[in-house]
Amino acid sequence: MNTTFDSAYYAHGTPAERWERARLFFDSKEYTAAAHVLDGLVEEVPEQTGPRLLLARSYYHSAQLGRAERELRSIVERDPVEHYARLMLGRTLERQGRAEEAETQLRIAAALAGDFEDGAAPAPGV
């Protein structure tokens, strides 16, 4: 495998073109290829949640759970109320057999999304 060629292919184009290419790979279930494109894009625009979240999802679906966890924790650190990142972090931790840590993240995600077990919102101040 020629890694120089591969790197050039995945890095080719404007950020918008690479974002679109990564989405096409992801939608085609080519998760590893999507991750290759997104890795460089995330380095370029680390403050943007969208590319980092799609990178985490690509890692998750390609069973690169440690990498998925790292990206998701980065998102949550920057934006603690990003409920989808919390949900994905919980699912990632579950797949790694870390049920207790996963439960915490899943409960936070549910609360942020407004999903309460008994169907009622918590009392004010809770």
pLDDT level of residue 12 (50, 70, 90 thresholds): confident
Using the structure block, give the residue that is written with the tokens 């790979």.
25
Superfamily per CATH, domain 3-112:
Tetratricopeptide repeat domain (1.25.40.10)
Q: Which two tokens stand for residue 69?
A: 């966890």
Q: Is the pTM of this model over 0.75?
A: yes
User: Domain spans of the chain?
Assistant: 3-112
Q: How far apart are CA 75 and CA 107, in angstroms?
A: 17
- Tens of pLDDT, residue by residue over 32-66, are 999 999 999 999 999 999 999 999 999 999 999 99
CA distance 18 to 1: 22
Q: Quote the CA–CA distance of 9 and 53 in Å, as a whole number.
A: 22
Closest CA to 71 of 94, 95, 96, 46: 46
pLDDT digits (tens, 9 = 90+) for 78-93: 999 999 999 999 999 9
